[in-house]
Structure 1
Amino acid sequence: MNIIFIDWKCFNHDDTIQTLQALGHQVTLYAHEEFNFPVSKSFVEDFTDFLFGKKVDLVFSYNFFPPVAEACHRNHLSYISVVYDSPYVYLYSYAMMYETNRVYLFDSAWVKELNQGGLSQVTYATLPASTHRSLPSGDTVPERLRADISFVGALYNEAHNFYERMEEKASDELKGYLEGILSAQSLIYGADILKPLMTPDLLAKMHRALPLEPDSTCVEPADYRHLNYVLRRKLTSMERFRYLKTLGEHNRDNDRSIKLFTLEPDTEIPGISNMGIAEYTNEMPLVFANSRINLNITLRSITTGIPLRCMDIMSCGGFLLSNYQQDFSLDSIAPAPGFTEDHPLSTSAFLPGVDYDYFDSPASLLEKTEYYLSHEKERQEIAQNGKQKVETYYSLTAFLQRILPS
């Protein structure tokens, strides 16, 4: 097929293009400065001109972009998008309604919501990962990128973040109430209590303290921005600090190498070394492959889905210890042939204690990190199982073969 690939700095950019080409497809890159605008007449016109005289079968992008959807609709082209970001306002764009769209989304709860809203062209899909990397280990890897325990991710504690800006004008009553519901939600994974509590009265109070207007080009829920960009991001920050501080306090003598790779280089957590940013393509895979335990603490706007970070960790042969996410247990792909029912690869679901493991409290995090650091063989077996599961069901090759027309 002749595929136009929307060219931007997305994750898995080069690997996806190479995989498409290896599968026999012709790939043409298209870049435009307004590809990610909510509406762009310029993009639609320029893209239409670009198509003139070309035989094109479909357009592909990571994340969904309304101008691309508009241009594909007008030119009767299939538009396949694979969404890995959350929150993501553009999934409520009016352009989502076009029958030319095929949107693959990694959070089953969100897929259900959009399907119930009439968007039948949105389909659940666990995110794919690049699996062909050959990664060095041991002393050949810089010491900075090796650890007993590592966490790669934002802490959302930047100055003047949404929650802090809201606090400046919020009443004591509102601040106390929000602190209470955030604390309650932090005790629960797998069930969302924040959204049911977002009553019109609470939303109005939050809006007065921090006005966030819905995009006029979208039909996003009225509470979407306050819920996801304010409350759930704040909750994620609270949880990531809580879990990391728990590990750091247990590591007062620094007998463990616990490393944080984050955008906030000045953040200090006793017992943990802040290493700054790990670059996605060249450094992050080395961290995953050379950390005995890789932590995932999911951004709370991802209700049930498996974050891309988890797939990247397992694809690199890293041992994954994550908070609980419901979609780990989804068996959404036909079983690979040649495996008995009791074999880990007989199911596309990720099995705890077999392919990865999870924690559900600071106490269980401590318990499991200590256990796996002292049970090296079991930890390595689980890491290898996770890698094989990704290679079998969720490689870029397997994923693209499933979603592209035959």
Structure 2
Amino acid sequence: MEIFLERAKDGLLTCKVQKENNRSYYLYSKYKPLRSLETLPEIKKDKDYLILGIGLGYEIAYVSENIWGKVVVIDYNRQFYNLIKENNELKPNISNGNIEFLFGDEYMNYLSLRNDNFEIIYNPQILELHPAFFAKVLMYLHSKKKSCKNKTVVLMEHNALIEDCLDAFKKESFQCIKLDWTTKEKLLLKISNIHPAFIFTINYSEIIAEISETLQIPYISWTVDTPSYPLYSLKIDTPLSAHFIYDEAIVHTLQKRGVTNVYYLPVAGNPERMMATIRKNNNLQMQYDVSFTGNLTISEYTQKIEPYLSVETKEIINKLLEEQEQNKTEFIIRSKVNNELVYRIQEESRYNIIGNELLTPEEKLAFLLGREHSQRERIRVVQQLEKQRFSFAVFGNDSWSMFTKNYQGYADYYKVYPLVLHHSKININLTRTFVETGLPLRVFDVLSSKGFLLTNDKQDIHRLFKDGRDLVVFRDSQDLVEQIEYYLNHEEQRLQIIENGHETLHKYHTYNHRVKKIIDLLRTKNWI
């Protein structure tokens, strides 16, 4: 790492550092270096202070001159210390007699650090120079303050589920801190400073897994999307992690390949939040006979592969997709894809089909083609339903506008989505082809919102609910239309199924139920 001193606009020295990866940035403002002092907490004269990182010594000078006690400074090495000692302008910043410096692992032998009277402060920019080192220091320092049972959990931001999980953890008396995604270095420092009992994410994250290993903090993930390619890595199988997955077929696949820490956990609903939103907007005019809510993701096959394929190869794939369309009960594409087809597609399209340690290229291609099938299926069903006599609405991303005149825009998950589900007489669910046994969030959201659900079939429908009592399953496109017409004309039956589905979800399938399962495992492993 190189350090370059520069003169700031206000006349003081500032510095730019260039790290080994050639990334360079300023530790202090180019205009007013002392601006970093404005973000420090109030300095108390009667306290001793622990400062992480030397920098140019501005924080050290400010604290040491304003307290009666001592200042202990910890840094990774002597690089900044030596630079300041050799610079007459900066040298006074670290010359106060109440300052003591510790380098590398010396802090571990400094037993007086385990005194709670020390106040800890730092400049975040300085900590990012050596994030792994400072993260371990913070973990060491904060561990002494956890005299009682640690009930803090860090939850990483997610666009849909994380608020509901957070509320469920709070009901179990956990203190919840939600973090936005940022660089690995910044997360490492933030999490080490919080020192949680465990870290929680929706969908497995390799970055959080690495942070968990570095800090030796348990990591819990709950994967609710397919395909989730990071799952198929040997990195997932670590002693301090447990990973819940909504599709039991994936759990079985990973277990057969030697992964020991994966567990089945279906998705959930939050009827309290959904119904509160509906009651709050009970005067809103919104009524549809039938609606479908879901994004239309244009597949990688459509965008990056198909345009470059020969007519013959396209025919092979279209035939494969048609076979899948005729088989609604299993993901047959996976068994039909072979190495020859992978090679053929790569040669013609120049699109690399790369697997992972626990995922073959053939399985990767099966997922790619499964996404293509689901894309075509959604378009086909929507275009079929918009031709019928009943009113029909589609909500999701704007890709839908290219395929249907019934597109109504995006339904915000928290503000609008529950209203659409509740005020639609019938909600359609199309679980994607490559989801073999599990159910998507939409199923639970419809029932949470007291909506009527008409869905294609998956194994978990029969494990978690009862067809004809809580929801209704359709067999094919013709049956879908016939079921819609039947329940639009049989209001009493439809309303009874709505009540039953909502009651079943409330009794067995809320986030509170799922979080209790997670906590049970944490306790079994003695992680909390």
TM-superposed CA distance for 1:300, in Å, is 2.0
1:242 matched to 2:391 = no
TM-superposed CA distance for 1:94, in Å, is 3.0
Tell me the equivalent position of 1:381: 496
Gapped runs of 5+ residues in structure 2?
Answer: 1-149, 524-528
Task: Verify the 8 A CA contact 1:4 1:30 in the aligned structure 2.
Answer: no
Tell me the equivalent position of 2:352: 212
2:486 to 371, 382, 390: 371
Tell me the equivalent position of 1:152: 293
The residue type paired with residue 237 of structure 2 is: M
Structure-2 change in CA distance of 1:212 and 1:129 (3 Å): farther
Q: 1:300-311 to 2 correspondence within 5 Å? A: 300-311=433-444
Task: Verify the 8 A CA contact 1:155 1:237 in the aligned structure 2.
Answer: yes
**Structure-2 separation of matches of 1:304 and 1:215:** 22
Structure-2 change in CA distance of 1:369 and 1:395 (3 Å): same
**Structure-2 separation of matches of 1:257 and 1:138:** 22
TM-superposed CA distance for 1:274, in Å, is 1.1
1:141 matched to 2:281 = no
Structure-2 change in CA distance of 1:258 and 1:202 (3 Å): same
Task: Verify the 8 A CA contact 1:138 1:290 in the aligned structure 2.
Answer: no
Task: Verify the 8 A CA contact 1:57 1:77 in the aligned structure 2.
Answer: yes
Tell me the equivalent position of 2:177: 28
* CA RMSD, Structure 1 to Structure 2 (Å): 2.2
The residue type paired with residue 110 of structure 1 is: I
Tell me the equivalent position of 2:263: 123
Q: 1:77-116 to 2 correspondence within 5 Å? A: 77-116=217-256
2:328 to 182, 189, 194: 189
Task: Verify the 8 A CA contact 2:223 2:244 in the aligned structure 1.
Answer: yes
**Structure-1 separation of matches of 2:151 and 2:323:** 51
Count of paired positions: 367
Task: Verify the 8 A CA contact 1:233 1:301 in the aligned structure 2.
Answer: yes
1:202-254 CA-to-partner distances (Å, cap 9, x unmatched) read 111122233134377x543212432223x111111221122222222223xxx
Q: With the length of structure 1 as denominator, give the TM-score of the two structures.
A: 0.84
Structure-2 change in CA distance of 1:53 and 1:66 (3 Å): closer
**Structure-2 separation of matches of 1:69 and 1:266:** 39
Task: Verify the 8 A CA contact 2:468 2:497 in the aligned structure 1.
Answer: yes
**Structure-2 separation of matches of 1:51 and 1:81:** 16
Identity across matched positions, percent:
24
TM-superposed CA distance for 1:397, in Å, is 1.2
- 2:428 alignment partner, SS class: strand
Tell me the equivalent position of 2:160: 11
1:358 matched to 2:473 = yes
Tell me the equivalent position of 1:232: 370
Segments of 4+ moved more than 3 angstroms: 45-55, 136-139
Q: 1:245-394 to 2 correspondence within 5 Å? A: 245-251=383-389, 256-263=390-397, 264-269=399-404, 273-330=406-463, 349-394=464-509
1:61 to 201, 205, 210: 201
**Structure-2 separation of matches of 1:51 and 1:6:** 10
**Structure-2 separation of matches of 1:384 and 1:295:** 17
Task: Verify the 8 A CA contact 1:156 1:234 in the aligned structure 2.
Answer: no
Tell me the equivalent position of 2:362: 223
**Structure-1 separation of matches of 2:403 and 2:376:** 15
Structure showing greater Rg: 2
**Structure-1 separation of matches of 2:170 and 2:281:** 33
**Structure-2 separation of matches of 1:212 and 1:130:** 41
Task: Verify the 8 A CA contact 2:151 2:173 in the aligned structure 1.
Answer: no
Task: Verify the 8 A CA contact 1:21 1:27 in the aligned structure 2.
Answer: yes
